[in-house]
Amino acid sequence: MKRVYSILAFLILGLALVAAGCGSKKDEKPAAAGGDKPKEVVLGYTGPLSGPAAEYGQDCFNGLEMAVNDINNAGGFTVGGKKHVFKLEKLDDMADPTNAVNNARRFLNQYKSKVIFNPVFTTTAPMMQINQEKGNEFLIMAYTSTPKAVQMNNSLVVAVPPPFTTYVHALADMAVSQGWKNIAMVVTLGAYGDEWRKAFKEHWESKGGKITADRPANYYTETNFSTQLTAVLATKPDALLIGGPSAPTGLVIEQARGLGFKGGFILVDQAKMEYIDKVVLKGITLMENTMGVAATTQTPLAGSVAFTKKYNDLHKKVATSEVTLNYCSVHALARAMEAAGTVEDPVAIRAAFPKAFPMLGDKFPAEYFGINDKGRMMVMPSVQLIKDGKYSPTVFYAYWPKNEEEFNKVKTETKMTGGTIKYLRVTE
Amino acid sequence: MDLFFQQIFNGIMMGSTYAVVALGLTLVYGILHIPNFAHGHLYMLGAYVSFFAITSHGLGFWAAMAVSVAVLALLGIVVERVVYRPLKDQPHINSFISAIGALMILETWVIVTWGPQAQRIPNPYPGAVELLGITMTQQRLLLIVSAMVLIILLQIFIKKTTPGTAIEAVAQNREGAMLVGINVDRIFSLTFAISTGTAAIAATLVAPIFMISPAMGALLGMKAFVIVILGGLGSIPGAIVGGYFLGIVEALGGGYISADYKDVIAFGALLLILAVKPNGLFGKEVA
Amino acid sequence: MAVKFIREKWFYLLLLAVSLALPLVITDRYIFQIIIMSMVFSIATLSMNLILGYTGQASLAHAGFFAIGAYGLGIMTKAGLSFWLALPAASLLSALVGFIIGLPTLRTRGSYFAIVTLCFGVIVYIVIGNLVEITGGQTGLLGIPLPQLGGLVFNTHKSQYYLVLAFLLLTLFVMHRLVYSLLGLGFMSVRNNEALAESLGINTFATKIISFMTANFFAGMAGGIYASLMGSISPSVASFSHTFFWLVYLMLGGVATLAGPIIGAFAIPVLMEYLQFLQEYRLIIFGALLIIIIMYFPRGLMGGINSLRDKLSKAYKLRKTGGKDGITANK
């Protein structure tokens, strides 16, 4: 029996060590500011900062960081007559659920943050399991486009991007206008890709179109797509629905062209045209007849033009919509805190969110018109087509208005300086 | 029928990579009995060295390949010395664990240095060729031809040159080789250098067609092990035939049956075959 | 008897009491989160130790079996089965799959076995990701209920802590009984020399199968507990980086010891939480640790401690006997 006891000894010594160690760190909480110094509000960000999704995680973080700096440099925001500034802390979770929950607990208990940002649904989901515990509530700002995020009836979640289903409808609409009928799919494997394929297939077939082939590929681990492409191109499609992370998506375009494909491409919303153009293919020659999420560099909003330039100067990178939308989300949060009159109570902050809007394109790089009662912030998905060697004007789709009247209100509010705006109702 | 031939072509192209990588692995695993589980990661590093040479130093494609081969050969020698030699007389499994340590280091090193995102080597031969109804790019053809040349050269080296026959001698009887005056340690270094050097060639040839990423070697390394085991440990023809065979089977399986389960083919085959023949198809015993 | 027991074991009883009282002293949920997850991974590492450490078969499919347990429990509890039925069922499922896979693979040896099991782990990962109707594909299973006992829902950290502590002690108890039984000696004789064990009349194949199944039973159990506490799982639970991490825990803590896996499973995650700024480099550190340990400290931390203790007690005895054997003591 001696061994069992010695094991027990080590087990408990370990526990004690953890306890002692972690306990001592507790004092590290942000110094409460006295006098007229603005009070610091700590925001937490947990996301993939290493591993295969690190670039995505870093882009999201960059957007948040820029917003925090902009807000603080402008003197902060006012809650209860007192100036407040944000402090943004980041922890890496490598997109692993265990790490994400650890990080959330750490933010909550040691950094005393009440708001946590996360950009990956498979890590948001377990956090949603714990964010409503009595006395330990925190608000999740989720950068996730899956409708599942707002269908889980969690009252402390704010979803930042538009649901991807709106892109399904918008791109299908645009594809019809190009006269495409037969579409083959080579979309990324993964939670997001699975949902995209399913939603697109249903919608496209309901519009009378035809899916000629469906061969998903793992965009995260593979770079040779010729097997799938050869198989789907044999069905003679008008266009291919492709996409996953931008870099391999560019490769798919190149390889499909290499196999002699002359038709169009529809990119799922994860793939960014401006990135493929500028970084992967160095030009849009191969991208003729490609449609996808509108390039942020082309967005007809004064705020967007200024923002993308500033971002590019700072990071020497293209500001994709991950950057711009995350940027806006921090501003929305600050406005919600001002309206709620508290920086401490997640329930009140969430309740005050509707008062944060509208946020329009004269000041912001994207336009937010409101938040629905499930927690989805409402921004118009915008899509674009590359035709005749150049980007055609952006098309915005207002998906939430219940009737023409509400749609007209959006039309009068917007600060768009170009492009077109269409009404296409989609519910999550 | 066009579709079928196009898939066969795709298969031969992937198979060329598999064959070269498996060939390198069978030298160290089959002949030296070192389960170099980091082989796929060394292949990955080969692609990055070429990438670095081209983008940072403006080297041409072939010059970059030469640099990559030299660096990787050297690294191969270092890895053998540091990671495997101290464990020479211990059970295989210790080397295997040590290899897992090595591959963690290699992959993270690349991520820290070049970032986790995929990178591109500009394609030196982007033109397309139409042949018998199959469309192929020049770079793909180049990969296939170069792989064949490389395989033939290696065969000649091992069968016809003195160092090559020394490797065979060590493989057949280590003590005997020592008795006739062969420096076994040096042969180990040489074999490792050849193994990693050829992996660097394969990686550089593939890089312009695809992208390079820190994860590109992991699955490939595992598949190379499968090929080596199924093709017969230490059997050079086995590795070559197995490599091409797996490439073609994957292309056809992925094209006609299910792309989702394409990667299962190799691993499933290994499970099934070992169920019947625990020592592999050509049954050499490993301890 | 009872008095003697207390007098000899007071230290361990004290520690047990401390561990039971721990939640009364510490209230920080973040610390508990780490402790609880470390305990879950301790169970997984302990089970890996059985097949790898005691039986000498490097099974690298461990995350795969962990995932089978996790998904098994998730699917069953979502269908309405109670946690207390689903957990053993999921663990048994994991053991059963282990049996089926073990039949062909355990006939292979050494690095063949490592590679084949690694391949099986990859297959599990791919299959889970593609069986969308059953496993939810890459999105995974969401909304797995927390364990319940009567009216008590395990939704507080204290209750979760005691729950996992109970399972960890159960695992330890079983491992201890197993390792110090005749069967356990069989495991070790297979590890030390399979041919010799065979010639001594041990059915080595059956021995390996039993060890493999038991290991996978507990791996599946760890997975099941993990799934119910996390509430949602995705195919990443089967990723071989999990297996590699447990391997590092095991090698560092001390292979073929009972305390080693627990020490490893606690020490490294705690270290990593503190060294968040080193996050990028952590696999380099893990990798280097693994190589150094396998070369210079193949028995890990516990092995080191044990041999040190042996030396000390030997020296102590020698001093008592007048140091006649001083030369060997100095060795």
| Chain centroid, CA C301 distance in Å | 16
Give me the total of CB pairs closer than 8 Å, taking one residue from chain B and one from chain C: 132
Give which of C212, C199, C255, C214 is closest to C61, Cα–Cα.
Answer: C212
CA distances from A370 to A140, A359, A361, A376, A423 (A): 17, 8, 14, 9, 16
Which chains reach chain B with 3 or more Cβ–Cβ distances below 8 angstroms? Answer: A, C
Question: What is the rounded average pLDDT for all residues in chain A?
Answer: 87
A8 CB contacts (<8 Å, ≥6 apart)?
A: C12, C15, C16, C19, C172
Strands A182-187 vs A210-214: parallel, antiparallel or unpaired: parallel
pLDDT in tens, A68-85: 999 999 999 999 889 999
pLDDT exceeds 70 at position A20: no
pLDDT in tens, A29-76: 444 444 568 899 999 999 988 777 788 899 999 999 999 999 999 999
Residue type, A87: K
Yes or no, beta carbons of A231 and B14 under 8 Å apart: no
Positions in chain C whose pLDDT score sits under 70: 1-12, 15, 276, 279, 320-331
Model pLDDT, residue B284: 54
Residue C35, SS3 per DSSP: helix
Model pLDDT, residue B3: 77
Give which of B61, B27, B55, B37 is closest to B195, Cα–Cα.
Answer: B27
Distance CA A386, CA C311 (A): 77
Chain A closest-CA separation from residue B62 CA (Å): 22
| Strand-pair partners of A88 | A43
Q: Which two tokens stand for residue A271?
A: 């793939």
pLDDT in tens, C60-73: 999 999 999 999 99
Measured N-to-C along each axis, helices B2-25 and B236-252 cross at an angle, to the nearest 10 degrees, of 150
Strands A139-142 vs A420-423: parallel, antiparallel or unpaired: unpaired
Model pLDDT, residue A323: 93
Model pLDDT, residue A96: 84
- Residue written as token pair 């296939």: B144
Yes or no, beta carbons of B259 and A224 under 8 Å apart: no
Model pLDDT, residue C5: 67
pLDDT exceeds 60 at position A10: no
Assembly ipTM: 0.84
Minimum-distance CB partner of A251 among B7, B137, B211 = B211
CA distances from A391 to A310, A388, B38 (A): 22, 8, 45
Residue type, C249: Y
| Strand-pair partners of A84 | A39, A77
Which of A27 and B138 is assigned the larger pLDDT?
B138
- Residue written as token pair 């464990």: B87
Yes or no, beta carbons of B211 and A223 under 8 Å apart: yes
pLDDT exceeds 60 at position A28: no
Please name the residue of chain B whose CA is at the shortest distance from the CA of residue A50: B116
Residue A378, SS3 per DSSP: strand
CA distances from C320 to C154, C315, C317, C326, C328 (A): 54, 9, 5, 11, 15
pLDDT in tens, A109-143: 888 999 999 999 889 999 998 888 888 899 999 99
Please name the residue of chain B whose CA is at the shortest distance from the CA of residue C280: B112
Minimum-distance CB partner of A248 among B6, B135, B211 = B211
Distance CA B119, CA C65 (A): 35
For residue A163, the 8-state DSSP code is P
C34 touches chain A (CB under 8 A): yes
Please name the residue of chain C whose CA is at the shortest distance from the CA of residue B262: C126
Q: Which two tokens stand for residue B134?
A: 């199959």
Model pLDDT, residue C259: 86
Model pLDDT, residue A32: 44
Burial state string for A130-146 with b = 16 or more CB within 10 A and e = fewer than 16: bbeeeebbbbbbbbbbb
Q: Which two tokens stand for residue C194?
A: 């399979």
Under the banding of pLDDT at 50, 70 and 90, the label for residue A161 is: very high
pLDDT exceeds 60 at position A289: yes
Residues of B in contact with A258 (CB under 8 A): 128, 135, 137
Distance CA A388, CA A363 (A): 32
Model pLDDT, residue C273: 76
Residue type, A424: L
Say if CB A369 and CB A376 are below 8 A apart.
no
Model pLDDT, residue B281: 67
C273 touches chain A (CB under 8 A): yes
pLDDT in tens, B190-224: 999 999 999 999 999 998 888 888 888 888 999 99
A97 touches chain C (CB under 8 A): yes
Q: Which two tokens stand for residue C229?
A: 């506490």
Please name the residue of chain A whose CA is at the shortest distance from the CA of residue B17: A224
B215 touches chain A (CB under 8 A): yes
Q: Which residues of A make CB contacts under 8 Å with B?
A: 50-55, 189, 215-217, 220-221, 223-224, 226-228, 230-231, 234, 245, 247-248, 251, 258-260, 280
Chain C closest-CA separation from residue A96 CA (Å): 7
pLDDT tens string, chain B, 287 residues long: the values are 577 888 888 899 999 999 999 999 998 987 788 889 899 999 999 999 999 999 988 899 999 999 999 999 999 999 999 999 888 888 777 888 899 899 989 988 998 888 877 788 888 887 777 776 677 778 888 889 999 999 999 889 988 888 888 888 888 887 888 888 888 888 899 999 999 999 999 999 998 888 888 888 888 999 999 898 888 777 888 889 989 999 998 888 887 777 778 788 888 888 888 777 777 666 554 43
| Strand-pair partners of A378 | A370
pLDDT exceeds 70 at position A296: yes
Yes or no, beta carbons of C16 and A8 under 8 Å apart: yes
pLDDT in tens, C231-290: 888 888 998 889 988 998 998 888 888 888 998 999 888 887 777 677 678 788 888 988
Yes or no, beta carbons of B6 and A220 under 8 Å apart: no
Strands A82-92 vs A39-47: parallel, antiparallel or unpaired: parallel
Residues of C in contact with A49 (CB under 8 A): 279-280
Strands C152-153 vs C148-149: parallel, antiparallel or unpaired: antiparallel
Residue type, B259: A
Cα angle C253-C254-C257, degrees, rounded to a multiple of 5: 120
- Residue written as token pair 């040489």: B190
Minimum-distance CB partner of A247 among B209, B211, B254 = B211
Q: Which of A152-156, A389-393, C108-112 has the lowest mean pLDDT?
A: C108-112
